[in-house]
Structure 1
Amino acid sequence: MPRLDVRDVPPAQRHPRIRTAFEELDGGETLELVNDYEPKPLFYEFASEVQSFDADGYEVTRTEPDEYVATFPKR
């Protein structure tokens, strides 16, 4: 599973970098995203704009106070 840690990426560059990484996946693959806050805005963006995003398979876990790991599965 590809893993992308965006905690050190400037906020304005995060969503474009994540979208690019997701688009590079094959169908059936999942992008594991590491972020410093729960990526709810990104989830809503993907759910409304990215047809290949499997919103039902999305999961997020807080692993540290400033670390969230979210899975973005691709259909």
Structure 2
Amino acid sequence: MTQDSQLDVRELIPRDRHTQIFSTYQALEPGAAFILVNDHDPKPLYYQFQAENAGEFSWEYLEEGPEVWRVRIGRTTG
């Protein structure tokens, strides 16, 4: 098993964050994942994934604030 890469978007301009996150997701092989590190709950991002990639991703909170949120986002094999 390989270790998931980490994408820390806290230093990015907010308008650029989703573009970088979706680019990272699209580059994943099926079954792979990355760890998103953010400075707020990325719940709106989850809803965007649901709208655009329903059934094709996994979402697992690893840390839920109050200052840092870490979410494992994966590309499913099915």
Q: TM-score, normalised by structure 2?
A: 0.83
The secondary structure found in structure 2 opposite 1:66 is coil
Residue 72 of structure 2 corresponds to 71
Q: CA deviation at 1:50?
A: 1.8
Moved over 3 A (4+): none
Structure 1-normalised TM-score? Answer: 0.86
Please list every run of 5 or more consecutive structure 2 residues that lacks an aligned counterpart in the other structure.
none
Distance verdict in 2 for CA 1:73–1:5, change over 3 Å: same
Count the aligned residue pairs: 72
Q: 1:46 aligns with which of 44, 49, 68?
A: 49
CA offset at residue 7 of structure 1? 0.3
- Asked whether the 8 Å contact 1:53–1:72 carries over to 2, the reply is no
Tell me the percent identity.
32
- Bigger Rg, structure 1 or 2: 2
RMSD: 1.5
